[in-house]
Structures are given as C-alpha cells and as structure tokens.
C-alpha cells in the first residue's frame, strides 16, 4: 500500500468558506483520508464479494498529497453581478468553487486571472472552463466571437509566468447541452500541445489520470503481470495518449492500440510513433485487430484495457473470449459496477481472477478505480 505520513487530517481544509455545502464534487470531504478509505473499502467488499480473496487493500496517498491534486477540470461558468464565477452545477444552480482544495494551484491561479480579464457575458458568453495541465480551453456559446482584445501581451506574459502554454477558444452554439463539437477550435496563444513530467505529450482535451504516482504504479503492476516480451503481442484498447503502450513497446512486444478520441490519437502518434493506433470504437476496429493477430499468430497473446465508465462493449467482450483469447488480461476500470459485470462474463468464458487492486485516484470523492488481473484457465 502506497502511503505518506499524515500530520493532521486533510479534511480540515474543507471549510464552508472554501468549500460550499452544496458542491456536488467531493462526497467524502467531511471525512479524514482514513475514514474515506474505510468507506470505499466497505463498498468494494460488497461489490466484489465473489472475489473477496483476490481483493487487495486500496493504494492511496495521505496528508498534503491528497490535496491540490487535480490538474484537469471541466467547470461550468456564469456571469453573476458583473463577475465571472466558475464551479459545478447542483439543482440547476452554479456552485462557485474557485478555491477548491483539491484543485492544483495552477488551476486556481488561472481561474483568478480569467475571472478578472474576461469580457462580460453578453460579449463573451463562455459556458465551460476546461483545463488540462498547461492547456486551457474556453467554451463559448456562439458561432463566432469578437477579436480577443482582452488577451493582451501583459496577460499572455502573466499566464506564461504561471506555466500556461496554450489558450484556446471553442465556439459551440450548443454549449450547455454538450461541451465540445467537432469543429470551432481556435488557438489564441502559445502551442497546441504540452508535455508532462514524464515527457508525454497531451492537448487541452486529453484525458490523464490525476495522481501520476498512483497511475504509474497501476501501470507497473499491469506490466509485471502481463510480462510482455519479444515473443508477445499486446492489444491496448482505449489506449489514451499512450502511457500504457509505451511500456509494452519498451519491452519489445508487438503492439497495436485503439482509441476513439481524435486528439488523444494525435498525441499517441507523437508519444509512441513506432506503434500503430486505430482511431474509432473498439467494436468497429475488430477486423483490423484480427489482421494484426494473423500477422503475429505465433506470439503470446496479451490484452490491456482501460475503458470509460460504461465498460467494455458487448461485441468486444465477445471478441476477446471467442476470438482473441489472450493468455492474460489487465483491466483498469473507473467503475466497479461495470467491472463486476465484465469480469463475470470473462469468468464464465474460461478466465480466472488473480487479483483486484483498487487505486484512490480521486481523494475525497466516492470514486475508486480498480485494476483487475485475469489469466486464461
């Protein structure tokens, strides 16, 4: 279990002045780290009752490491009393959370700058503030926007001093119902991509896990279990920008990846140019995956999946169990509910759970993610 020494309960940071009671974000904000972990453990024990012997303790961080951890947000905005507010929606009301204790300092500092410089709502009808690390996206409910005179050289310098590398505007006439449309993206300042501390390239809409220490540990655990070698093939489904595929490629395995998000695919190609990545739904890319399998038919078959909350599509689960039949599967899930469903199907199709390792990627929330390791009987 990964822990840091705690000197005082970090939940003391969640005062009413900083963290409004109506905020729907952190369900466990009134609990200490230990109390939150205990509650999540009880939840997992109930969910994974059939695999109690395989369920491991939760990997988590404590103390200061459990605060200011968020580097990615998607916040609603509203122009109230001649001031821009940023927050979450609860009962159709915006709850401002500009000083949220779990948001990183870069996010909080940038929100203060934009609340000060953005034009009024009738001129610049922003609906969402999206930030991914050093990249910022302002989603505006309009077909076009006036020239951004508010983004002066002084403001650009101020943002750059904070660490911002890219500022975008996305014009979306349907903003409010959807965050993003296919078109309407304009880079106002800086570069289109940034890189994190590991050197991985990402964009303003890229998904990355919030606590690198824990996420990298989950990948190391998956890699040690799969043990990819030169005589192995790894199919990496829902691959993101390439964190996991980088490991399989370094081990010398033959790798192919599938990812739906266009920006993530572009970043993947920059991060792991040696690996072929297929863009689209995994179910729609089964023919190309089968071609890859035929070309590498003598290799040991391995599988890594990191699907969205809805889990692995039914057609893909059927393909895994009936056609691909990997010897080992590492499945990182953000939903214990759909993970229970999917590993139940896999167990009914000649697979056995070896271990379920939970990770507390979102401290003070009720969310917990799990890495399931399965072997073919």
Question: In DSSP terms, which residues pair with 279 in a beta bridge?
Answer: 259
Instruction: Give just the sign of the alpha carbon dihedral 200, 206, 212, 214.
Output: negative
**CB under 8 Å to 183, separation ≥6 — which residues?**
none
For 20, the token pair is 């409004």
Write the secondary structure of 39-96 as one string of H (helix), E (strand) and C (coil): HHHHHHHHHCHHHCCCECCCECCCHHHHCCCECEEEEEEEEECCEEEEEEEECCEEEE
Residues facing residue 375 across a β-bridge: 328, 352
Q: Rounded distance, CA 320 to CA 316, Å?
A: 6
Q: What is the DSSP letter of 141?
A: S
Question: ∠ CA(250), CA(71), CA(367), 5° rounding?
Answer: 90
DSSP character at residue 157: H
Active site residues: 334
Residue 141 in contact with residue 173, Cβ under 8 Å?
A: yes
Dist CA 276 CA 142 (whole Å)? 37
Backbone Cα Rg of the chain: 22
Are 352 and 328 in contact by the 8 Å Cβ rule? The answer is: no
**Cα gap 204→187, rounded to integer Å:** 10
**Can you tell me the distance from the alpha carbon of 343 to that of 54, in angstroms, rounded to the nearest whole number?**
13
126-132 and 93-96 beta bridge pairing:
unpaired
| Token representation of residue 156 | 């650009």
Beta pairing partners, 305 = 237, 331
SS3 258: strand
């Amino acid at each position: 279990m990964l822990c840091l020494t705690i000197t005082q309960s970090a939940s003391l940071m969640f005062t009413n002045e900083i963290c409004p009671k109506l905020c729907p974000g952190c369900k466990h904000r009134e609990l200490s780290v230990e109390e939150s972990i205990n509650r999540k453990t009880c939840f997992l024990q109930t969910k994974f009752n059939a695999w109690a012997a395989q369920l491991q303790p939760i990997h988590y961080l404590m103390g200061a490491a459990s605060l200011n951890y968020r580097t990615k947000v998607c916040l609603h905005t509203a122009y109230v009393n001649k001031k821009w507010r940023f927050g979450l929606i609860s009962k159709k009301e915006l709850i401002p959370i500009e000083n949220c204790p779990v948001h990183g300092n870069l996010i909080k500092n940038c929100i203060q700058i934009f609340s000060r410089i953005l034009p009024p709502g009738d001129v610049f009808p922003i609906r969402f503030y999206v930030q991914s690390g050093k990249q910022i996206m302002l989603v505006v409910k309009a077909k076009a926007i006036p020239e951004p005179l508010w983004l002066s050289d002084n403001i650009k310098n101020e943002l750059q001093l904070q660490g911002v590398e890219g500022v975008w505007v996305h014009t979306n006439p349907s903003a409010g119902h959807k965050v993003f449309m296919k078109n309407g993206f304009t880079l106002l300042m800086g570069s289109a991509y940034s890189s994190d501390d590991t050197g991985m390239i990402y964009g303003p809409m890229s998904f990355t896990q919030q606590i690198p220490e824990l996420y990298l540990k989950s990948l190391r655990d998956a890699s040690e279990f799969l043990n990819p070698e030169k005589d192995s093939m790894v199919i990496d489904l829902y691959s993101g920008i390439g964190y996991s595929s980088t490991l399989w490629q370094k081990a010398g395995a033959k790798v192919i990846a599938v990812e739906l998000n266009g920006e993530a695919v572009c970043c993947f190609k920059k991060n792991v140019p040696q690996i072929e990545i297929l863009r689209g739904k995994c179910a729609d890319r089964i023919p190309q995956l089968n071609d890859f399998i035929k070309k590498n038919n003598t290799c040991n078959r391995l599988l890594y999946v990191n699907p969205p909350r809805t889990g692995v599509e039914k057609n893909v689960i059927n393909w895994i169990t009936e056609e691909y039949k990997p010897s080992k599967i590492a499945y990182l899930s953000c939903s214990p509910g759909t993970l229970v469903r999917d590993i139940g199907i896999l167990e009914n199709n000649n697979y056995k759970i070896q271990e379920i390792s939970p990770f507390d990627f979102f401290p003070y929330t009720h969310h917990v993610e799990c890495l399931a390791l399965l072997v073919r009987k």
